[in-house]
Amino acid sequence: MKVKNDKIYSPDSLSRTGCDNQGAVALIMVVWVTVVLMAIVGEFTYSMRTEMNIVRNFKEEEQAYFLAMAGIEQAKLEILSAKESDVIFINEEGELAFKDNTEEDEEESIQRKGELGSGNFQYTITDEDSKLNINSHSIKDGKQIANTVSIEVLKELFKSAGIDSTEVDTIVDSLVDWRDENEEHHLNGAEEDYYQSLSEPYSCKDGPFDTIEELMLVKGMTRGILYGSKGEEDEESNEGVIKHLTVYDTGKININTASPIVLEAVLGLEDAGNIIMERETEPIKRPLANGKVSSSYFTIVSKGTSADGIISRTIKTVVHKTKKELESVYWNDNVI
């Protein structure tokens, strides 16, 4: 027996104390190992779940993309199915419609949507021939050819869209400076020196517009003017000028599909009013006022949605119809 601090310890009690200490250490080690293993398993499970979500989202995004592609192809088929003699117009639902000159049957409802597999798609078709081309037009025999958009016509369109006259002068003059090849300023325009003086400088293009969205680079243009805005308090709302403008040389304006703003800007109030009144009864079947009743450029916007409705993809393309062929002149499969 041992005596320590007036206490007597037997060999058996010392042995039991040592064993208890070793057991406690072992238990702590087991607990720590268990905690570490649980953390590893948890991290592995989280990683696997993340990977599975990524794979599933990628799969559904690809499905949505090809559903949108299906809508594009369906729209192309609809455009190609229209005959050369078809009159293109806007129906009562505000949708672009195709109709043969000799057709007298009642108009059928247009279905521009569909289901494919477990997903669905829907698309819209817009007539580019109903808009004003903001690019310069050709000159023939010293005279401007049909549908040439003058500065005055552009200004009239912007004013009709509800844009302040001061802003209109700046935007239109700058628009012309942007597309012409010289470096001479219009009265309220802008050339290279202005754009280089900005906090984030860039060059004046001095060439034709490739897309209508390029207008955002022009001096005076804002998102509210281009895409429209909802007025707050004393501010007036406007629908945006983008729906009235194009960059494609469509020739004459389609008088059946052109908006009143475009018609008034091009033809004047009297002729525009007569056309609007006539087409309210039925589509105009013969060209009037140096316009046309058919179209060759169309914008297609198609949206594909996966089965759960969470993942979607949108594709935008502009096609040019020549006889029985369609040529894609613009493509964007990353539309937000």
Task: State the total domains in the chain.
Answer: 1
Is 166 contained in some domain? Answer: yes
Q: What is the pLDDT of residue 277?
A: 94
Q: What is the pLDDT of residue 33?
A: 83
Q: Which residues of 198-227 are buried (b: 16+ CB within 10 A; e: fewer)?
A: eeeeeebbeebbeebebbeebbbbeeebbe
Angstrom CA distances, 112 to 101, 115, 217, 231, stand at 23, 11, 34, 32
Is 137 contained in some domain? Answer: yes
Is 179 contained in some domain? Answer: yes
Q: What is the CA radius of gyration of the chain?
A: 34
Is 255 contained in some domain? Answer: no
The pair of three-digit structure tokens given for residue 145, joined into one six-digit string: 């050819």
Q: Which domain holds residue 198?
A: 132-249
Q: What is the pLDDT of residue 56?
A: 75
Residue 158's domain is classified under what CATH number? 1.10.40.60
Residue that has been written with the tokens 């008034």 in this structure: 264
User: pTM to 2 decimals?
Assistant: 0.80
The pair of three-digit structure tokens given for residue 91, joined into one six-digit string: 């129906």
Q: What is the pLDDT of residue 11?
A: 58
Is 295 contained in some domain? Answer: no
Q: What is the pLDDT of residue 60?
A: 87
Is 308 contained in some domain? Answer: no
Is 313 contained in some domain? Answer: no
Q: What is the pLDDT of residues 95-134, one digit of tens each?
A: 999 875 445 444 557 889 999 888 999 999 999 999 999 9
Phi, psi dihedrals of residue 105, rounded to the nearest 5°: -70, 155
Is 208 contained in some domain? Answer: yes
**Residue ranges of the chain with pLDDT lower than 70?**
1-20, 100-108, 136-148, 231-237
Residue that has been written with the tokens 């005076």 in this structure: 220
Q: Is 149 helix (H, G, I), strand (E, B) or coil?
A: coil
Angle 143-145-151 from CA coordinates, rounded to 5°? 85
Q: Is 334 helix (H, G, I), strand (E, B) or coil?
A: coil
Q: What is the pLDDT of residue 10?
A: 57
DSSP 206-269: -S--SSGGGGGGSTT--HHHHH-B---TTPPPB--SGGGEESS---S-BTTTS-HHHHHHHH-H
Phi, psi dihedrals of residue 329, rounded to the nearest 5°: -105, -5
